[in-house]
Amino acid sequence: MNPNTSLALQENIQLVLDSFIQDATKIFADDLLSATLFGSASQGVLRPTSDVNLILVLKQFKREQADLISDSARLAHAQIGLEVMFILDTELQRAAESFSVKFLDIETRHAVLHGKDYFKDFKISASALKLRLRQVLTNLILRLREQYVLLSNRDELLSHVIADSASPLRSAAFSLLRLKKLPVASPKDALIKIIEDSSQSSAWMITLADMSHARENNLQASKINPTYFSLIDIAEYLMLLAEQIDEHI
């Protein structure tokens, strides 16, 4: 691990992560350019249900290396929910343009565990960010509608869908404020700021609290449907804000 990186991760998570990084450095050797933690794990604020997200930047991705790292990756995934993105250095800018909402979050919240920091001062165009923002919100709205129809009689599963909505909503809010050139500390803070400034702030702040609760425990049955449809309303509101951003930004 990079000696300049200090993370407040639980000991068991840190041990598994360190073991995987050690395996990756041995297996990929000079082909491993960077190992970068991103998202909540990079800030040491993981919830029990959170994944640990890691990017390995490589010179090349060879079958024999992939075969050797697979056991370590499967074990780390089972133990701590490690999700690894294997990306070539030549693919970074293209990926950032295609998945700009995710890469904006990576730029903002990341910790280098090995090698070069590829995400410091990373450039994402406003046009790509706005396009991807619309795609993320459209996908979320359509998915929420579909999942409700399929799971309307399964409260526990609907509670999980509510919990899973936190990440795309927060990332979308963060992207919106970045496009408006408004500073904010984190995706979570961005969503809170947008909701606080809305005409539905009182009701929607309760929705955000219930969404956060769903990430820790299943919501009470009486709260699930109101929270679920309120999240759809919030996603549609974010889409409206996205549409109002100057086309020439």
Mean pLDDT of the chain: 90
Q: Check residue 99 and give its pLDDT.
A: 87
Place of tokens 């909505």: 165
- The enclosing domain of 64 has a CATH number of 3.30.460.10
Q: Take residue 84 and report the two structure tokens written for it.
A: 């690894």
What percent of the chain shows pLDDT beyond 70? 92
Are residues 108 and 130 both part of a single domain?
A: no
pLDDT confidence tier of residue 212, bands split at 50, 70 and 90? very high
Exposed, middle or buried, 96 (CB in 10 Å: 0-12/13-18/19+)? buried
- The answer to which of 2-11, 36-45, 55-64, 207-216 has the lowest mean pLDDT is 2-11
Q: Check residue 4 and give its pLDDT.
A: 40
Mark which of 80, 115, 150 sits at the end of a domain.
115
In a domain, 64, yes or no: yes
Range of the domain at 40: 11-115
Q: Check residue 59 and give its pLDDT.
A: 97
Mark which of 64, 85, 115 sits at the end of a domain.
115
Q: Check residue 9 and give its pLDDT.
A: 67
Are residues 106 and 148 both part of a single domain?
A: no
Mean pLDDT along residues 220-245: 95
In a domain, 31, yes or no: yes
Q: Is the pLDDT of residue 206 over 80?
A: yes
In a domain, 120, yes or no: no
Number of domains, the chain: 2
Q: What's the pLDDT tens digit per position in 153-194?
A: 999 999 999 999 999 999 999 999 999 989 888 899 999 999
Q: Check residue 15 and give its pLDDT.
A: 92
In a domain, 196, yes or no: yes
Q: Take residue 136 and report the two structure tokens written for it.
A: 């993320």
Alpha-carbon gap, residue 138 to 208, rounded angstroms: 20
Give the residue among 26, 29, 79, 34 at the shortest CA–CA distance from 55: 34
In a domain, 39, yes or no: yes
Dmax (CA) of the chain: 56
Are residues 142 and 236 both part of a single domain?
A: yes
Q: Is the pLDDT of residue 2 over 50?
A: no
Are residues 144 and 202 both part of a single domain?
A: yes
Q: What's the pLDDT tens digit per position in 5-51?
A: 445 567 888 899 999 999 999 999 999 999 999 987 777 666 656 77
Q: Is the pLDDT of residue 233 over 70?
A: yes
Q: Check residue 12 and give its pLDDT.
A: 84
If phi over 0 gives left and psi between -120 and 50 gives alpha, with beta otherwise, what is residue 6? beta
Are residues 52 and 144 both part of a single domain?
A: no
Mark which of 72, 96, 115 sits at the end of a domain.
115
In a domain, 249, yes or no: no
Are residues 133 and 174 both part of a single domain?
A: yes
Are residues 90 and 20 both part of a single domain?
A: yes
